Amino acid sequence: MLEQYGFIALYSGLVFVFPFLGMLTAWLLRPKKPNPIKRSTYECGLETIGDTWVQFKAQYYLFALIFVVFDIEAVFLFPWAVAYRRLALYALVEMAIFLLILLGGLLYAWRKKALQWQ
Amino acid sequence: MDFVSDLFVNLGRVWTDFLSMYLAPWLVRLINWLIVSTILLVIGLVTVLFLVWLERKIVARIQDRPGPNRVGPFGLLQTVADAVKLLTKEDITPAGADRIVYNLAPALATFSALMLMAVLPWGPRLIAADLNIGVLYLVALGSVATMAILMAGWSSNNKYALLGGFRVVAQLLSYEIPMILAMASVVLLAGSMSTQAIVEAQSPLPYVVFTPLAFLIYLLASLAEVGRVPFDLLEAESELITGYNIEYSGMKFAFFFLAEFINTFIVSIIAVTLFLGGWRGPLVDRFPVLGVFYLGIKVFVLLFAMSWFRGTLPRFRIDQMQMFAWKVLVPVALVNLLIVAVAVKLPGGLWAQAAFALAGNVITLLVTLGLLGRAARRFAERRGERLPVTT
């Protein structure tokens, strides 16, 4: 099994280098004539107004928070799913309780209108 | 005949034996790894060349026009010509861009897409690395793409690109949950996370028979994950002038494009592997080489369906998209997981389990459709409209 990870390590190195090789080739081949107008922000011909990196909609945070809850759930879910056939019936009951608590959390977020996009 | 019946594995064995006569074992292994890596890279690139052509052709036929037909036979070399053109295009970095992040983003997107290819089973014993955490690996490296796209949107110093980046966070994060839950139900059925073991476990019945609902959820969520129609909000041409990759040109743009199409290809292979029995098919036990063709046919059907969606469906609105993920897919996926868990613990063998899971799935689907219909009717009433009566 460890041998497989050796391949993954080598492959990840190659795959990481590959796009940079592509960009290097392009750098050798392409014309390089930048000017301020070319390098200005592209907004279909209009001058851009104000700063780009401003404070953004807080709703995105809300979804990210709910996502974190469910993503951590996935961490518990996969080991349980792999070992499930070897476990007694209590595994089913326990995971059912766990999932129902999560579902309760989702319903709470739903009632609080956290899932409503405004 | 014996040699041809398991062609690829036998070729590998002959090649390894040949090398072993002259070289030390560790060197042989290293050379083999390098060859396998190159093969995976080539498969990825050639498939993308073909896939772009195929999609353009299919969408063109749907829209009643011929599509690319000038470069090469049937326009097959059109993508190659496009790639060469992109390679020689001037690369423009916007003035206010965060240069390191800006240049890293396309590389990371390609990295994540190509890394996924390592654990996909192409046929019996034909897999680059049969990790025992295969499914988890797919989820983990798949989410690196989210980061790459967010990096691109953030670093471009363009408001449209930034908006595209935000939408990516909202969409990809939301749809990752139902995707993970659908995958978990398959892991539950197979009792293993190794992709090869999952395919082998589907020997009399593919898992789509057990849980068609999980297959449907996976298909929808994966469409959203790769940002394809109807979930192409992150690059909506008409709203965001292609969103996160707007400031990218030349080869960097090409790498985003490459990553997107490799992801489309990989997502179909994963769907086939998890739900449609992967390389399984008639006579595959006697002639393992057939597995590659079965896999290819199944993947082609899914890819065709995806192009078909692209030609016929309109785009979701962002609030609809979020609502669909959290209020429909996630609860349904959780219920489906519980149904599958109960089914696996049932006595009475495989067929009883399949029947129970299938019945549970159908009931869940009908209840969901009923609730959705009621919600739609209530929504229409609130707006003072009458919904057309459909049969």
Contact between A78 and B187 using a beta-carbon 8 Å cutoff: yes
Q: What is the ipTM of this complex?
A: 0.87
Cis (ω within 30 of 0) for the bond into B230? yes
CB contact under 8 A, A15 and B90: no
Per-residue pLDDT of A43-66, as tens digits, reads 776 777 777 777 777 777 888 888
Q: Give me the total of CB pairs closer than 8 Å, taking one residue from chain A and one from chain B.
A: 206
pLDDT per residue as tens, chain B (391 positions): 677 777 888 888 888 888 888 888 888 888 988 998 999 999 999 999 999 999 999 989 998 888 888 888 888 888 888 888 888 888 888 887 788 888 899 999 999 999 999 999 988 888 888 888 889 999 888 888 888 888 888 888 887 888 878 877 788 888 889 999 999 999 998 888 899 999 988 888 889 888 899 999 999 999 888 877 777 766 666 666 677 777 788 888 889 889 889 999 999 999 999 999 888 888 888 888 888 889 999 999 999 998 898 888 888 777 788 888 888 899 899 999 999 988 888 887 888 888 888 999 999 999 999 998 888 888 888 877 666 655 4
Locate the chain B residue with the closest alpha carbon to A87: B345
CATH number assigned to the domain comprising residue A75 = 1.20.58.1610
pLDDT tens per residue across span A64-108: 888 888 888 888 888 888 988 888 888 888 888 988 888 888 888
CB contact under 8 A, B322 and A115: yes
Contact A4 B241 (CB under 8 A): no
Domain range list for chain B: 82-382
**CB-CB contact of B57 with B63 (8 Å):** no
Question: Do A66 and B246 make contact, defined as CB atoms within 8 angstroms?
Answer: no
Report the domain count for chain A: 1
Residue A109 distance to chain B (closest CA, Å): 10
**CA of B199 to nearest chain A CA: how many angstroms apart?**
15
- How close does chain B come to A58, measured CA to CA in Å? 11
Name the residue in chain B with its Cα closest to that of A2.
B131
Report yes or no on A86 lying in a domain.
yes
Q: Which amino acid is at B305?
A: A
Instruction: Find chain B residues with C-beta within 8 A of A106's C-beta.
Output: 326, 330-331
Contacts for B32 with CB less than 8 Å, ≥ 6 apart: B12, B15, B16, B19
Q: How many CB atoms lie within 10 A of CB B235?
A: 21
3-state SS record for chain B: CHHHHCHHHHHHHHHHHHHHCCCCHHHHHHHHHHHHHHHHHHHHHHHHHHHHHHHHHHHHHHCCCCCCCCCCHHHCCHHHHHHHHHHCCCCCCCCCCCHHHHHHHHHHHHHHHHHHHHHCEEECCEECCCCCCHHHHHHHHHHHHHHHHHHHHHHCCCHHHHHHHHHHHHHHHHHHHHHHHHHHHHHHHHCCCCHHHHHHHCCCCCHHHHCHHHHHHHHHHHHHHCCCCCCHHHHCHHHHCCHHHCCCCHHHHHHHHHHHHHHHHHHHHHHHHHHCCCCCCCCCCCCCCHHHHHHHHHHHHHHHHHHHHHHHCCCCCHHHHHHHHHHHHHHHHHHHHHHHHHHHHCCCHHHHHHHHHHHHHHHHHHHHHHHHHHHHHHHHHHCCCCCCCCC
Nearest to B87 among A26, A32, A41 (CB): A26
| Interchain proximity B327–A63, CB inside 8 Å | no
Name every chain B residue with its beta carbon within 8 A of the beta carbon of A41.
94-96, 157-159, 247
Contact A26 B34 (CB under 8 A): no
Cβ A66–B135 below 8 Å, yes or no?
A: no
Nearest to B342 among A57, A82, A92 (CB): A92
Quick check: A7 and B159 CB within 8 A? no
Chain A hits for B165, CB-CB cut-off 8 Å, are none
Contact B41 A14 (CB under 8 A): yes
